[in-house]
Amino acid sequence: MDEVLFQQIGSRCRMWIAPEDRQPVSIQQPGRKCVGYFGAVRVRDGKFIYSREDDKFNAETSWAFLKKVEEQSRSDGKTVVLIIDNARYHHAKMHKAWREEVSSGFRLEFLPPYSPELNPIERVWRLTRRRRLHNQYFPTLESLRSAAESLFETWATGSEDLRRLCRI
């Protein structure tokens, strides 16, 4: 599980341009508008669970997403292990009692500090940028949302690509 912010400005790319040609003009939307998502991948079938966060990431929004993941990941007697980073709001006292209550079937494994490369969901964010957001102009924040969420919806039923990508 992790969270991500996709900005409305395009990502940079390198390209070769013939010396006789003028430099291309890259259209950018001014400002720092962005949209945030929580996301998690169920490794057994590659199902992508996500939630858009319009306000900000905090203990309340994190807890709501943890409940959603726990509900959708319940399995017949199997323990679900969620790999999660060490953001402060993931350890919040607000949901400590709930974490202890569901700990028999739903366990959080916290990554060491400053190690995002160990979190498999980071690969999903990179793949999302490559497939839908890279080298594109989004005139509105809604167009960015729809581009990302259309890909997320295809993954929501399960994806062999995500299953292989997030396997440890």
Cβ atoms < 10 Å from Cβ of 145: 17
Closest CA to 148 of 127, 117, 119, 118: 127
User: How far is the C-alpha of 88 from the C-alpha of 67, rounded, in Å?
Assistant: 17
pLDDT of 48 above 90? yes
Percent pLDDT > 90 in the chain is 45
pTM score above 0.75 = yes
Q: Which residue has the tokens 């939630």?
A: 51
Label the pairing between strands 47-53 and 34-42.
antiparallel
Per-residue pLDDT tens digits for 117-142: 888 899 999 999 999 988 788 888 89
Q: In what order do the strands lie in the sheet with 34-42?
A: 2-7, 34-42, 47-53
Listed range (72-81, 98-107, 142-151) with the worst mean pLDDT: 72-81
What is the per-residue DSSP string for 93-144?
GGGHHHHHHTTTTEEEEEPPTT-GGG-THHHHHHHHIIIIITT---SSHHHH
Q: Which amino acid is at 92?
A: A
Of residues 77 and 38, which shows the higher confidence score? 38
| pLDDT number for residue 168 | 64
